[in-house]
A and B are shown apart, each in its own frame.
Chain A
């Protein structure tokens, strides 16, 4: 049987595009987890809030789209900070499961709030990116996916650099590693917590804008977060590199599954991967192994 390489190439490119978005959202997740140790199940909903904020500013207030994106992303960051202060800070010291369930509740609140303000109708993001077709060789790539991928790449590289070199990034890593030591080195730990949620929310918002541009905006957008959950588990909850690698990989695998098996298999394949990862390497490809002390 003649294998259709062009088809394969096309869906692989599409998969990389989606993978990039997964990686970006996973980055937001990892930043939050690395600093505060919170598994944020509401990451999909934070992505949604970012998309809606930009949509609302662009259509409701009539801001030019670039300004709307900037203000929207900053606004999401602010929302992230508020969420941290109100819902996460009081849970410091409690079991991680309780904090996890708080994020579950948070997801509900965000979905309800968005539905309240903008109703449950599906909406379209105003045009952001140029939309002529892009052809790589003979393979067709949707323009939105293409540009989205580049934005993702830039942001992730920035993220990796930040964690390595910027003082704030180092502070984030330090608090993640050992809060007590970080305190004694003069790092303002509560401020680091807030900062991580703010940055995480902003990155999620950018991802949300791209996802919204590609697939439309609706209160059900948060379901994206479930696939991202698989990505971070596979990559390692606290690894930025893992987010990148796993995001791309899962984006590709999902695309192949959808292309060769059929659209309905996409979700199942993703979650089978999750189960396999949990059984073989629960801490993910690059995650740090948790050592439990009594």
Chain B
């Protein structure tokens, strides 16, 4: 039973992981991540890669919405920018994969900053609606700027080549996604140990007070948009390399709602929440398929799968907001606390 850990330096207090047990568990996680592709079949690897791309994007959205309190319904459109950037770079310049991802992140970051400019005038709901508008306008650009984006037909991407390996199966692709995802997650987690991260949280809680305390609002809000878009851009780039085709219809508004669901369900304002949320929401269709397959109904059950999934998504948002606004990560914490304090009650 472990109630707390005694800390003797500030550095130790600020650390992300603070106890031997945590390190041990991290090691187990790392080992299982490495072992996973060898025991899973192609389909599960495919799902795993998809989940990891979603984790990156959800983390980005969480920075903007969960930590800074700026609700955004434009995450999918930003991913689209990243995806098109990667596709364009790959088709026209043939530059290395990691370079493309970074450029994609950078371009999307600029896009995010531009979209964030209205945040100087409007807040909260109005900003959310502005992001919807941005999403629609970006969709228009994707569909009509034919010379760059290939119009409605879109662009195709060749399989990414990393260290001489052509990553054209999920198995190989997995090895690229995992390090990228881990780095982005660590980046996000560490962001909130710094001044910038705390400024974001201050803005979320009460932005006028934050300004009074000396945090330049516009600069930090734009920074938040920028960082979150960087994540979206990288996620979009990975998406492009994974699906190898980018069309304007690949990143609809419903995908933005998907990511919003992910962070609401997982827990806003928490990196663990992004992970749990993305995993949960990506796996829902699979679980639903299994459940529907088991129900003692005729084959027609497959017909209702799609609308049932839509309903489930909506109910998840409503349910979690009403019942557990802190999300899955809060449930996780409660479970952890239970085990920490056992046999005493929390």
Contacts and interface: CB of A to CB of B under 8 A. Distances in A.
Direct contact of A and B (CB under 8 A): yes
Interface in B282-323: 303-304, 306-318, 321-322
A137 interface: no
Contacts of A96: 124-125
Interface string A156-179: 000000000000000000000000
B102 interface: no
Given A105-B318, A268-B140, A278-B118, A100 B125 contact: yes
Contact of B325 (A98, A267, A271, A294): A98
B38 to A, nearest CB: 38
B133 A275 contact: yes
Contact of A105 (B122, B140, B143, B315): B315
Given A274-B129, A292-B208, A294-B208, A97 B124 contact: yes
Interface stretch (A54-62, A110-118, A139-147, A210-218): A110-118
Contacts of A233: 126, 129
Contact of A274 (B130, B143, B144, B325): B130
A90 interface: yes
Nearest to B139: A267
Contacts of B209: 294
A282 B121 contact: yes
A264 interface: yes
Given A229-B129, A264-B144, A109 B318 contact: yes
Contacts of A91: 321-322
B264 interface: yes
Contacts of B133: 230, 271-272, 274-275, 278
Contacts, number: 126
A188 interface: no
B164 to A, nearest CB: 44
Given A105-B321, A267-B136, A268-B140, A112 B314 contact: yes
B181 interface: no
A106 interface: yes
5 contacts: A105-B315, A106-B318, A108-B313, A115-B307, A271-B133
B27 interface: no
Contact of A278 (B130, B311, B318, B325): B130
Contacts of A264: 140, 143-144
Given A279-B121, A282-B126, 9 more contacts: A97-B69, A97-B71, A105-B315, A106-B318, A107-B314, A233-B126, A271-B132, A278-B122, A278-B133
A65 interface: no
A270 B71 CA distance: 21
Contacts of A274: 129-130, 133
Interface in B223-243: none
A153 interface: no
Contact of B318 (A87, A94, A279, A294): A87
B209, B304, B314 pick with most chain A CB within 10 angstroms: B314
B20 to A, nearest CB: 39
A226 interface: yes
